[in-house]
Structure formats: C-alpha cells, structure tokens
Structure 1
Amino acid sequence: MAFETHYSLRSLIGAGKNRSAHKKVFSFDLFDTLLIRRIHDPDLVKLPVARYISRLAARARISVGWQSVQRQRDQIEAAHRARTGQQFDDHEACYPRFMGELLEQLFGDSYSPGLLGEVTDFELKMENSMLVPRLELVEWLETLWTAGKEIYIISDMYLPATHLEKLVEHAGLSGYVTAVVSSADTFLAKASGRAFSHVAKKFGIDPQSWVHIGDNPISDGLRAAEFGIESLIIRDPAEEQRRSIVKRYYNYSDGKPFWRGRLLQQLMAPHEKENSRRSPLYVEGYNFIGPLIGLFVQRVAELCLENDIKKIFFLSREGWTFKNYWEKAVPILYAGKKVPDIEYLYVSRMALAPAACAVQGLTKTNASIAFLPPGNRDFRDLCRIFGLEAEKFSGILAKHGIGEDTCLSHIHDGYDPQNRKRFETMLEDAEFQGEVKRQTRDSNLALQRYLEDIGFFHHDKVAVVDIGWLGSIQRFLFEAVSHREDIPQCFGYLFGATRGIPYPVEEKNRIAGVVYDRDRFDLAASTLFYARDIFEEACRAPHPTLNGYECDGDGYKLVFRKTDDEIGRAELEQDSYFAPLQQGIIDSAERFGAAAALLGYEFADYKPWINSVLVNKLAFPAAREVAQIRHQHHLDDFHGQKKPKADFAKGFTPLWDRSQLQLKFDPFIRARAFFRHLRERINE
C-alpha cells in the first residue's frame, strides 16, 4: 500500500475527511505535524537545559560549565542508544534514564531524585515554549473526536508518553486523544515500523480501519503503508520556508551580531492559532517596545548579579511595566539562578521633590531642574513643585528684592538676569532655607516611614530602576534620606540617561543608562531623544500619579492626584488609547523570556540590533508609524501653565511633531532631522 503526500494542510485534511466515513482509527505524529516548532533544530532546546543544570550545580557548589554538561548529556544519550540498538531494531533512548545518569554523575553525593523532577519540569517548559499547535489540524482533530473516532498520538521521541502527555495537554489537545504512545517507553519506533504493530496489538486495532498522518515519508509514510495502514504525509512548503528563515537567521547570528536580535524577534513571533488579528498599536507593543524592555530588564538582571545586588525597586509609574515584564520573563530566562527580589516603589518627582528639601534645603541645582520645563516661570511655580506655601516667604522675598511673580526663567517675557542672581542669593539665606525645611519636614518624615515599611533600609545594596532621563527621581530619593546611616548603596539603572544636568555620583549613589547613556557616545541609541514621551506613555502604570507623602498619626499615606479634572481626563484618554500597546508589551514578556533563554546571549550581543531598531523606528519612521504611536496627551507633573516667549517655539520642529503631510511628501525631512540630531550630539 502506497502513502499519499500532500503539500498543503487543506489538501491533507480534505483527503482525511474523505476517508473518515469508513475509518475508525486516526493516529497523528506529534512534532512537526500536530505541533510545529518555533526553532529549526529541536536540539536547541537542550542548550538552556544545560545552562539550567550548570546553575543548579553552582548552587550545590559544583563547578561545571554548561558546554561540559551538554557534552556529557550527548555522550550518555549516545551510549544509551547504542545499547538499545543491540537489542532492538531502533536506536532509541529514554529521557528519565539518561538524564538521571547524567545528574548522578554531575552531582555525586548531592544528587537526589527530586533533582531529576526539577530538570524535567524545566525541559518540558522549554519544549512547550517552542511548540505551537497547527490550527487547522487541531480543528480537524476535534471534528474527528466528536464523530467518535479513536485518536492516537504516536511519536519517535526520547521523552516517554507521560512527558509527552504534558506537552499535549499544554497544547490543548488532551481532551481529544485516546492515548499517547512514545518509542521511549518500549524502544519500538515508527522508523522501523515496530511502533505500528505494537500499537495495533496493544489497542486491538485493525490496520484496515486505520489512517496515520505525519511528516516523515519513511517513518510516517512507508513504514505505516508496509503495515497496511493508509498514510497521509504533509510536506508544507510555507512551513518549510519559515523554518529555513529561522535557520538562516540562526546561522547569520553566529558571526553577525545584528541577526541575534532579529532571531530573537523571530522566535517570539506568534504562529498558527496564536496569530490572530491585532491592532497596529498592539503589534508595535509586541514587536518593537516589548523586546526593548525585555533586553533592558535582562541587562538590569546582569548588572545586579555582577554587583551582588539582592533587591530591586522599580520606580515611578514606568517601573510598574518593568516589574510586570520581569515577573513574566526572568523566571525562565534565569531559571536555576538566584535573582534579586523585586518590589514596586510608589514615587514621582512631585512627591519626592519636597522630601528632598527637608534636610539639605532647596539647592541651586534642584531649582534649576524645576525651571527646565518651559511652563515654569516664577517663584510660585517653584513652590508648586517643592510643596511650599509662597505667601509664607513674602518677607524673605521682599528682603531680596523679588516677588512671587518675578520672572526667573530666561525663556519668558520680563526676564532680568539680575532677578535670577537675587534669587540665587536668596538660596544662600539661612532664614529662607529654614522655612523650606520647616515646610517640607512632614513630607520627608512620611517618606521615611514608607521606605521603612517596605524594608528599603534593610539592604546593603539596592537597584533602583526607572525610565530616565535626568535621574531626577533617584536624585530626590537619595537626597531625602542620605542623612541616614542605614541608607543602602543605590545603583540606579535607567532605560535612557540623557544627563541634561550633571548627576551627583558618589560611592552610595550611582546611576547609569542601559539602552542609552550620554556619558558613552552612542549615536544610534541617542535617537531615544526623538520620542522619549512614547516610552513613558507606553510603560505608564494604570494608577494616577503620586502627588506626595503625608503623615497620618504615627504612620503615613500616599496621596495620588485626582483624575476628574481636565488633565486627569486627558490622561485617562491617553491610557485608553495606548491600552493595546501596553497589552502587546506585556504579552511579549513570556515569549521574550523563553526565546532569550534558548539563545543564551547577553545584552551586549543584542546591542547592534537594538541600535538598528531605534534608528529605523525613531529617526526614519514611516508616516503611519508616527501617526499610530505618537502620544495624544503627555502629562509632565513638573510642567506649569505659563506661556514662554512667542519666539521660544520657533525654529526647527522635531520630526515626531511634524504633520502627516510633511512626513509623507517631504523626501528629505528625516535626513535633515537626523543631521541636526547628529550635530547636537557631537556638540554636547
């Protein structure tokens, strides 16, 4: 009996349906038939398992590199197959046997039976992360089951049936399967044809009532036909092309670092049943911002492990997304390794700015930070930011010859440099600073109570992770509590550090940009300047901005801004618009963790790809990309309502503020913007 080869699922399923009326039993190959792999080579799943075992060994104080683990696994598995081949037609192996032997060799007296279970669970988790059910075959499987057919899954695989059943269950197929059969249990495989006779005998199946579906023309086709089973073989050119693309990316990545990021992105891509229609914003979140956040989180983990940091605090509203991404990606990416504990810290510039003044007063640098936003003009704006009551400074202001509404910003009408000098002289006045400290004392006390409550001071080292850009939040946080003897050493890790105002680095207060840092010239990564607001809005937490800390008896309370005013409503509108983008980011996290774990690359290996993506997306975007992800409303809690000089906004309009007509029809607009950006970065 010959077997049939079909070159599309539609053709194969059509042939199967024609036979379903007079056939009782249908069996399916599992891998590359019912389930396709994201990777081209199934052996690649073994590599993260080797790294996992190496990490478990390190925790048991056994030094063995993952490459050595993999070599020993290959040797032991080959020996098992050779011994099996002496007794059976098929050279098969059984995972619990050879993996148990490997672990006993590696761990010696430290070995316990539970260790095999841990490693098995991780290997199955990696397998599941790389497997995708074929939608059309699954739907046909359900139809066959509903029609009362017996359905078997038969696989030539070193995983026994009990393990394969977990993969089948994860794929959502277990409810439609009579039994799962693996060659690892009997060493009788489809490759020799022995598996078919074994299944027929065990389950009492007449070969004349049986149809088998698979992808291997020998194991699934010829051998089944020799036993009298009708066999249908799938040879899907589209699926073969997809695997060849993955293989090409994998081969390129060995010598050309750019392709490492492209390969990562390819392994994260949804397929078959996962690949439903999504909004353009969701796709941008999943394909663009999500992987960037994943690599940022991976680098933060690397830095914490290098510096022996046991605790991470994710700061500000953007830290909420970073923390969520960490929780989904890091457990599989760093499986077997002790990573830092994490916590979300409720902070904001507005909440921390008053607390930062309680001990040191209002510094010249912090006052300069307050006047960076163009909407801030005078002393009243300063008081709004630092939580001060302006009227209580009337006498001090009069003494120095300035008023509450005296212009102190050079970009506003009425600015006189002498007034700014008078203001800076007032900053040196002990009476002024005494009043500042008095007014901000409760805010500082409430902050300290909050930090004590979450255990901030219980650590020698902590990482504080934020989006960026000046590091103002970490600056204010450290200044607010730097007087305490139990303050931990703070390692600040920012998505991007623009450093518009020099940061006060000291032994206990360090800061570094991960994706971009102005202290390290990186022209490509500096394109973050084009659209920083996008990253802030995309990562923003679903709760309102924190306005401040207040004492509440012997405790404290967190005060959030209201959402029922004009600014609050605009923020809610922006959150609603960006909801698909944020969902795409979060949905990408688990896929990122699994793909990055399989590849085993470090952050530095992906940097050429990161830079390429940033330049293409931010400096040379398509007009539709700008229209889709450009923010509608951006809340800057420091920004006041004053209007700067009429000519302040004149000059070159940033690329991401241009109209759709300009972006579509001006062929040189992106090049002009890029050369201007290049000149600005060189002149910094």
Structure 2
Amino acid sequence: MKNVKTYLEEKRDSGVMPTLKELINKTKNSSYISFDIFDTLLKRNVKNPSDVFDLVQLKLGEKELKFKEKRIEAEQRARQKSSTEISLDDIYRCYNADNSLKNELKAIELDVERECLTVNPYMIDFFNYCIKHKNVYIISDMYLSSDFIEKILADNKITGYKKLYVSCKYGKTKRDGSLFKLYLNQNSINPREAVHVGDSWRSDYIMPKKMGIMALHIPRIINSENIVFHGETININYLNSMINNSIEIETTSYYKFGYQKFGPFLWGYVQWLHKKLKENNIKKVYFFSRDGYIMMKAFNYLCRDQDIEVHYLEVSRRSLRVPILHFDHTFNTIMGMVSPSKRVSLISIFDCVGLDINNYEDLLMKYGFSKKESFDRKTISNNVNLINLYKELSTDIEKKSNTEYASLVSYLKQEDVKGKFGIVDIGWSGGMQRFLIETLNQLNIDNEIYGYYIGIANYYTRNTMVMPNLSLHGYLFDFKNDKDAEDKRSSFVGLFELLFLEQNGSVRNYITKQNKVVANRAPYEYIINGKETIELKAIHEVQKGALKFIKNASEDSILSNLLSYSADELFEGLKETGQHPRKKDLILFSEFRFFDEGEIHQLANPKSMFFYIGNPQKFKQDFLLSRWKIGFMKRLLKVNLPYQQLYLWLLQFK
C-alpha cells in the first residue's frame, strides 16, 4: 500500500511545467502573489528532502553512524512534543548526542542545505516578472530559520519581495491555513486579489483555495526532465537532480545532449587526468589536436594548477606518421599504422603514406584498381597486384617522408617537446605516442612520455610490439593494464569520436610562416562553400552544453569535493544513446558524416531491408563501414531488439 500511495503521489505531483506566458496569463488579474520556496523557487539537488541527510553522512564519515535514521527520529519526536510548528533547534534538542556534537551536526546540515539548494530554472523568470508588476510575498512551511532562508534566497538572486513568512518563526503553517490567514491579515489583502504558487497539493493548492486565494499548483516532478543515470545511490541521485535543476530551459536538443550526457563524462575524465598527472609527477602536459582541444578546455575549467604547464600540440596521425616512414615504410609496417578495421581501403593506404590517390590514376589502372577499392585485412598481404603497386610508390613515399620529417623536427624543437611530460588524446592504441617517441629518439632528444587516453583498445599491441615500454593509461577501458577490460565504444565509435571534434581541419604537415613553424591544416570537412554544415553546428552545441555542465559542476561544492563517480557511471548517458538509441537519438545523429583516413561515411544510414535481401554482400560492406553499428541496425530493422548483443555476435564473423 505504501508503494501504491507513493506512486499515486508522484503521479499527482508530476506534470508539464507551465510556460512563462501561461503563468503570466493565469495571474494577470491578481495584485498580490505569494510563492512557496522549496521545490518552487528553490530546488534541492536531491530526489527527496531527507536525502540531504545522506550528504551530511558522507561529510561525517564514521564520526556519527546512522545519522539519517537518528535525524528523522529526532524530528518525529520534536513534532510529537509540539502543538505548533517546530524549528531546527527544536529538532536537535531531541537528537540523542552531547551538545558539542549536536552543534556540529546542525552546522554541517545547514552547510549541506546551502550547498545543494539552487534556483528553480522554471520559475525564476516568472518570479522576476512578478517583482516588477505585483506585490510579492514568500510563504514556507519549514523548520529552517527565516534568517537562514533569507540568506539562501539572496545567494540565489531571489530578492525584491515584500516579506518572508516562515512557519517556524510564527508558529503557524500553510498546511492548516493559519500562516495564510496571518499573511492576509497583516497586509490587509483581499484573498480574491491574491494568488499563491507552490508544489504541495495540500499546503499550496487545497488550503489557499479554502481561504479564497487563487492557487497554481506546479509540478514537483517535471515530465520533460530526464533520468540519465540510473541507480539508487546518493551520488547518482544528486547528479540527476543537479543536471535537471541547472540546465537552461530554452536550449537545443544538441545542447541538452552535451549538458546531460557528454558533459558529465568529460568532467569525470579531466578529474581522472588531473589525478593521474599528480600521481606520476607530471609537470608538463600536451593536449593533441584535434580531439584534445575540448579536453584541454574542460581541463582548464577544472584544474587551474600552477604546477602543471598546459600546451596544445598541433599534431595528427598523418603529421606524425608520414615523417617517420623514411626509416621504415615496408608494406607490413603500413598495415600496422592504418585503421584496424576489417576492410582496408586503398584510399586509407595512400592517406597513411601521405600521398594523394588522385595523382596516381594511371598507376591504379595499370594494376586494375579503382579509387574505391578495399581489401579484407586477413588476405591483403597476399594481393600481388597491390604489393607491386605499393613497391612503385616507394620512391615517392621516401621523398615525401624526408621533406615532412625536417619540418616536423623544427616544430617539435620550437614547441620544446622534450623530457618528462604527459600527452592527452582520445585513444585508442597509442600510435601517435609511438610515432612521437620514434622521432625524438632519432633526434637523440631525451623523453619520458606518459599517454593519457579515454580508452586503450585491445589492438594497442600493434604499437607495443614495436615499442614494448609505451606508457599508456585509459580512463573508460584499458586493455593494457586490465586483463578484464571491455571496449565500451566499439559499436558506436564514430558517434563517440565526433563529440570531441575541434572546429578546424586536420593537421597535414608543417610550414614556416614569418620565421615560425606552424601547422598546415587541411580544409575543414564540415565547412562547405564558407558555410558551417549541420554537423558542425550540432557538435558546437554539444560541446557548448558539455562545457557549461563542467563550469556548473566546478562551482558545485558537493559535486567537486564530496561525491565521486566511476568512469562507467558517467559513461551511462553516452552508452544509452550509443548502444540503446531511441528514435530521437537516431534523428539527431544517424546521418552525420564521418571523415577518417581519406574516406567519408555516414554514421548510420542503411539502405532498405528489401535492397539488402537482394544484395547481402552490400549489407555486409555497409555494416562494416558504418561508424555507429547499433544505430545502423536499429534504423534498418526499426524495432527494439538487444542490438548490442547482436553486434557482439556479428563480430564473430568478421
């Protein structure tokens, strides 16, 4: 029965929040307006008010065990003893502890209340409108003192009201109507000219209506709010509430995705990164372009550490890979450098060695290849025509490599890349770290490089076989340092990587301008005819939302100093979209283009099932080329299935 009652109460207290225009229209004939405070003007970043006591317990640790249970019992005893409304002092008089501890507990509780209270984004604009056009009062049933509440309201920029009525100060309550009666009498207000706004069905709606006051019941639980992270712990409880209480109301779907899902994950990563840098005594860190750009911005928001130099190094796989090929550019070496995907395209091979395939059409024709040719990785080394074609490229590869090696060396020396330092990139196998070390070693430049990545995939061995002592560290998964690791992004790798894009073209090589070595960038793929594409605008919004979350999280003392989260917990929002996409997720991202190693593919845009029935090989090819395989399958089949399990099963047939 208790569960049924709770369910019915939550249904009653849930709903769609009225718009500002609707609120103004409903109160246009009222001269006086009163507001409830908690869950109306202010929201707590917890699901239920008593969850505040869980946060107090975290601050207390083992100093006072079972605090929540004891605190609830003390309030019950205080209410049983009093015929009027109680105060926080009354509650702690009934708490079983010595006076010194009680005073400490009360102080910590007040601190936690202050820290987890925030303005209700759905109500603040309406409140400010009323301040300009109405006589505004604030009325609350609460055991916290009026002085404390006034300070909290002021801290949240809720000011300009006529008077604050708090039940514990007057010994009267909204719940029995006596506090409303006092408010009306003291201010000579005709109840027919007044309206009250609040979330409690009885205290803020039924009772004022009985007093003749118009009442607006606003939902305590907003239907449009998302539960992004699932779990019953206070950590998850607080994170969900903080997200819903702090996100701007009028925003794009991409901004919301960034704020609710990408932001928390990026926030967790840069906290982990800062911790690892400290553990390894790293004083200098280079964020690699392009994926490292958003990570560097997030890091600078959170970790303005005077002891760590932060640099942005304009490098790419191509700009580091091509220069070292003059040491070794055998075909087998190249196969260890291109994308580890099942199909290896001819375009990606040319891109790997820094040559433009469009300049070799006669050579392709000589060996019977087209520019769209691709090969099965398992049998590619047995393709005689391909091997012979590659041999004919040898002179051009070496010439290109020698030229780019000299300019890379100048750039690295200019940027003072030497000694002990960390590098930051998205991942996944440490190839760029290996290429950089090989270059520095050839120059006899001392180096001790620690690589910090979102994840280390199982194919990291392609680089450790060449360089066994690579120092690689992964946040979300780490096959090098964890034998039980799981690649959590492989089924939507393209979607995941797009979130990190810098708003600029990839680094091709280096040139000298005005006596300075600078990166020579390729044209940005997501700007066409001088105009930003839909993808670019969307990713900009995603990153804007993510950085706003990180800014808000850095200013939230409970998130920053009290609670902790695992990488898996903070990955849940992205994982939900990537592995279990809903229709709106597919609409947002599935037709985005993904550029990699000279190739262009859409994330998840299959042809029809009818087409694939007649062309099964085309299905296999399109599926393997898709960079969001779960999205591909769901768009194709259009029904809810265990797609992640289906994807893992299909991997057996690569």
Structure 2: distance between partners of 1:214 and 1:374: 62
Q: CA deviation at 1:382?
A: 1.9
Residue 68 (structure 1) aligned to one of 52, 63, 79: 63
TM-score by length of 1: 0.62
Residue 408 (structure 2) aligned to one of 424, 443, 447: 443
Is structure 2 residue 321 aligned with structure 1 residue 353? yes
Q: CA deviation at 1:603?
A: 0.9
- Counterpart amino acid of 2:88? E
Structure 1: distance between partners of 2:409 and 2:429: 22
Q: CA deviation at 1:448?
A: 2.5
Give per-residue Cα distances to partners, 1:1-52, cap 9 Å, x unaligned: xxxxx98998x9799959835xxx544331123334452233545766886x
Q: CA deviation at 1:155?
A: 6.8
Residue 602 of structure 1: SS of its match in structure 2? coil
Residue 346 of structure 2: SS of its match in structure 1? coil
Is structure 2 residue 461 aligned with structure 1 residue 466? no
Q: CA deviation at 1:543?
A: 2.5
Residues 221 and 379 of structure 1, relative CA distance in 2, 3 Å threshold:
closer
Deviates more, 1:528-537 or 1:142-151: 142-151
Is structure 2 residue 544 aligned with structure 1 residue 549? no
Is structure 2 residue 220 aligned with structure 1 residue 239? yes
Structure 1: distance between partners of 2:244 and 2:264: 14
1:151 aligned partner:
137
Residue 324 of structure 1: SS of its match in structure 2? helix
Deviates more, 1:301-310 or 1:565-574: 565-574
CA contact (8 A) 1:492 1:512 kept: yes
2:288 aligned partner:
315
Q: CA deviation at 1:160?
A: 6.0
Q: CA deviation at 1:349?
A: 1.7
Structure 2: distance between partners of 1:103 and 1:356: 68
1:487 aligned partner:
447
CA contact (8 A) 2:476 2:568 kept: no
2:385 aligned partner:
415
Structure 1: distance between partners of 2:346 and 2:238: 42
Q: CA deviation at 1:149?
A: 1.9
Is structure 2 residue 504 aligned with structure 1 residue 504? no
1:34 aligned partner:
41
Q: CA deviation at 1:191?
A: 8.4
Structure 1: distance between partners of 2:145 and 2:283: 37
CA contact (8 A) 1:370 1:376 kept: no
Structure 2: distance between partners of 1:154 and 1:492: 50
2:88 aligned partner:
92
2:589 aligned partner:
629
State how 1:602-613 maps to structure 2 within 5 Å. 602-603=565-566, 606=569, 610=572
Give per-residue Cα distances to partners, 1:636-666, cap 9 Å, x unaligned: 35669xxxxxx99884431747999985564
State how 1:118-157 maps to structure 2 within 5 Å. 124=114, 126-128=116-118, 131-135=119-123, 139=126, 141-142=127-128, 144-152=130-138, 156=142
Q: CA deviation at 1:629?
A: 0.7
Residue 538 (structure 1) aligned to one of 475, 492, 499: 499
Structure 1: distance between partners of 2:52 and 2:535: 41
Structure 1: distance between partners of 2:504 and 2:349: 30
Identity across matched positions, percent: 15
1:477 aligned partner:
436
Residue 117 of structure 2: SS of its match in structure 1? helix
Residue 382 (structure 1) aligned to one of 334, 353, 362: 353
Is structure 2 residue 143 aligned with structure 1 residue 178? no
Q: CA deviation at 1:134?
A: 4.1
Residues 413 and 222 of structure 1, relative CA distance in 2, 3 Å threshold:
closer
1:654 aligned partner:
623
Structure 2: distance between partners of 1:380 and 1:142: 58
CA contact (8 A) 2:634 2:643 kept: no
Structure with the higher fraction of residues in helix conformation: 1
Residues 670 and 167 of structure 1, relative CA distance in 2, 3 Å threshold:
same
Once superposed, what is the RMSD of the aligned Cα atoms? 6.4
- Counterpart amino acid of 1:253? E
Structure 1: distance between partners of 2:202 and 2:646: 60
Structure 2: distance between partners of 1:160 and 1:660: 53
Residues 623 and 219 of structure 1, relative CA distance in 2, 3 Å threshold:
closer
TM-score by length of 2: 0.64
Provide the aligned length of Structure 1 versus Structure 2: 583
Give per-residue Cα distances to partners, 1:226-272, cap 9 Å, x unaligned: xx987677766x536979998x998x525xxxx976x5774355469
Residue 38 of structure 2: SS of its match in structure 1? coil
Residues 624 and 146 of structure 1, relative CA distance in 2, 3 Å threshold:
closer
- Counterpart amino acid of 1:440? Y
CA contact (8 A) 2:180 2:208 kept: no
Structure 2: distance between partners of 1:219 and 1:573: 48
Q: CA deviation at 1:449?
A: 1.6
CA contact (8 A) 1:489 1:507 kept: no
Residues 683 and 338 of structure 1, relative CA distance in 2, 3 Å threshold:
farther
State how 1:178-577 maps to structure 2 within 5 Å. 178-180=162-164, 205-206=187-188, 238-239=219-220, 253-254=232-233, 263=237, 266-267=240-241, 269-270=243-244, 274-276=248-250, 278-279=252-253, 281-301=254-274, 303-304=276-277, 307=280, 309=282, 312-327=285-300, 330=302, 342-354=310-322, 356=324, 367-372=334-339, 374-376=345-347, 382-384=353-355, 410=380, 415=385, 417=387, 440-451=405-416, 457=419, 460=420, 462=422, 464-482=423-441, 487-495=447-455, 497=457, 499=459, 502-504=462-464, 509-518=470-479, 526=487, 528-550=489-511, 555-563=516-524, 574-576=535-537
Q: Which has the higher contact order (CA 8 A, sep 6+)?
A: 1
Residue 487 of structure 2: SS of its match in structure 1? helix
1:393 aligned partner:
none
Residues 323 and 369 of structure 1, relative CA distance in 2, 3 Å threshold:
same
Q: CA deviation at 1:102?
A: 8.3
CA contact (8 A) 2:267 2:550 kept: yes
